[in-house]
Amino acid sequence: MGETMDIANPSEEHAMLREMVRDWTKEHVEPQALRHDREEIFNLPLLRSMGEMGLLGLSAEEKYGGSGLDAAACAIVHEELAASDPGFALAYLAHAMLFVNNLAFNGNEEQKARILPQVCSGEWIGAMAMSEPDVGTDVLGLSTTAVQQDDGTWKINGRKMWITNGCLDDEGTPADVVWVYAKTETDDKGRVQMSTFLVEAGMIGYSVGQKIMDKTGMRASNTAELVFEDCVVPAENLVGSPGESLLHMMANLEAERLTLAAMALGIARRSLEDMNRYAAERTAFRSQIRDFGQMQRYIGESWSKYRAMRAYIYDTAAHMTLGKPGHRLDSDGVKLFCATAAKEIADAAMQVMGGYGYVGEYNVERLWRDAKLLEIGGGTIESHHKNITRDLSKTPDSITR
C-alpha cells in the first residue's frame, strides 16, 4: 500500500507553507492578539510585513509579485492565522482574497501590472466594497451608482457599509485601493446591471464616512463606512465591461467562502486545543475534569466536528479552481457548516473552562465572539440555505455522484 495523503497538506509545498505561517504566527501574531482585540486596533504594520513572505499576493501570478498558489494554500494561510487572531485574519482575507485575488483573475493587463505589485508587496492595502447601509445579501438591490461622463470618466455616488480595511487607522485614512461595485444601468426587463471600479486613495470624492466601533468580535480588524460623493474614476479603472460584475463576483465569492470556512477551522482548532489542555490540568473531586461524562461529551463532539470541518474544507479546496465559478454548492455548504460548528466548538470550550473560559486572556472568549461573524459576513447562513436548496433542485445528481 502506498502512503496515505494528508488532505490538508496535499503536497510538500503545502506542508512547508503551513509550517512557515504557523511559526510566523506564533512569533508575530499571537503576542499582539489580545491587546489588539481589547483596544480595537488594526495592526497595519504587521499586515504590510506579510508582503515580504509573498503572502499578500498568495494567488496572484509571480510576475506581478505574487506567489501563484492554489485554493488549498489559501485555506492553509487563513486557518493558521485564525487559530491565533481571527480579527487579523479577516483583515488579511479582505486584502488577499477580496481585493488581490479579484484583481489577479479579473483585471486587465494594465490594471494588474500597475496595481498588483503594490498590493502584493504591502505598499498598498486593498478592500472590497459591496454591502451598503440598506443592502447586504440582496446585492442587486444596491443603490450606489456610476455614471459615465462625456470625457469617459465615471462619477460614483453612494455609501458602502461594513467594509473590512475600509479605513486603515483611527484618523480615517481610507484604504489605498478598493474594488467597488456600482449600478451603471438597467436592462430591458428592469434588472440592475452592476459594474466594477478600482477606486484609489486620493481620488476626488472618495472618503471614510465613519470607522465602525464596538463590534462584538473581529475587533482587531477595521470596519468602516465608505462614502463616494461625485467620486471621479478614470475610464481605465473600470474592470471589464459595464454590466459584467456578476460574472467575476460569483467566482470570487466562492473563494471568499472557502477561506472564511478555513478561518472557522482555525477558531475550532484553537478552541479544541485549549479545552483539551484545560481538561487535563483542572481537577475536581480528586479527578481530572476530562474524566467526567459531560466534559467528555463537549470534547468528543468538538473533535468530531473539527475533523468533519477539516475534511470538507480541504476537499472543497482540492476541487476549486481559483478564478473560475462553478463551486457554489460546496463553497456555500462548507461555510454554512463550518461557521456554525466553529461557534459551537468555541462555546463548548468556554463551558469546559468555566470562569476561565469567560475572560479574555484565555482566548476562547475572544474566539467565541469572533466566530459569530462567520454566520453573517461573506453571505449569511440563510443565504447559504437558499443557494444550496436552489442548486440541488437544478442538479439533484450532486447528491449521489
What are the pLDDT digits (tens) for 135-149? 766 676 788 999 999
Domain 246-399 matching CATH 3.40.50.2300: the answer reads no
Is pLDDT above 90 for 176? yes
Q: Where are the domain boundaries for CATH 1.10.540.10 in the chain?
A: 12-125
The predicted structure's pLDDT at residue 284: 85
The predicted structure's pLDDT at residue 138: 66
Mean pLDDT of all residues in 230-236? 98
Is pLDDT above 60 for 99? yes
Q: Where are the domain boundaries for CATH 1.20.140.10 in the chain?
A: 246-399
Distance CA 333, CA 387 (A): 9
Quote the mean pLDDT of the chain.
Answer: 95
The predicted structure's pLDDT at residue 5: 81
Mean pLDDT of all residues in 178-189? 88
Active site residues: 256
Condensed to tens digits (0 to 9), the pLDDT of residues 238-294 reads 999 999 898 888 889 999 999 999 999 999 999 999 999 999 998 888 899 899 999
Cross-strand partners of 147 = 155
Is pLDDT above 90 for 188? no
CATH T-level assignment (fold) for domain 127-243: Butyryl-CoA Dehydrogenase, subunit A; domain 2 (2.40.110)
The predicted structure's pLDDT at residue 361: 86
The predicted structure's pLDDT at residue 248: 84
Is pLDDT above 90 for 1? no
- Percentage of residues in the chain having pLDDT higher than 90: 88
What CATH number does the domain located at 12-125 have? 1.10.540.10
